[in-house]
Structure 1
Amino acid sequence: MARKNLNDRRAAARRELEEAQAKFAKLQNEAAARIGKLAVRTGLTDLDLSDDEIKSTFEGIVARKEQENIL
Structure 2
Amino acid sequence: MARQPLAERRAATRAKIAALKAEIAKMDAIAAERIGRLAVRAGLADLALDDDTLSREFEAIASRHAGAENAIDQADDQAK
TM-score computed with the length of structure 2 as normaliser: 0.82
Unaligned runs of 5+ in 2: 72-80
The whole-number CA distance in structure 1 between the counterparts of 2:60 and 2:47 is 18
Unaligned runs of 5+ in 1: none
RMSD (CA atoms):
1.2
Render the CA deviation track for 1:30-65: whole Å, top value 9, x for unaligned.
Answer: 111001111111111001111111101111011111
Structure 2 vs 1, CA of residues 30 and 7 (structure 1 numbering), >3 Å: closer, same or farther?
Answer: same
Give secondary structure in 2 for the equivalent of 1:55. Answer: helix
TM-score computed with the length of structure 1 as normaliser: 0.91
Give secondary structure in 1 for the equivalent of 2:3. Answer: coil
Following TM superposition, the consecutive aligned residue runs of length 4 or more in structure 1 with deviations greater than 3 angstroms are none
Number of aligned residue pairs: give it: 71
Q: What percentage of aligned pairs have identical amino acids?
A: 45
Q: CA deviation at 1:70?
A: 5.2
Partner of 1:45: 45
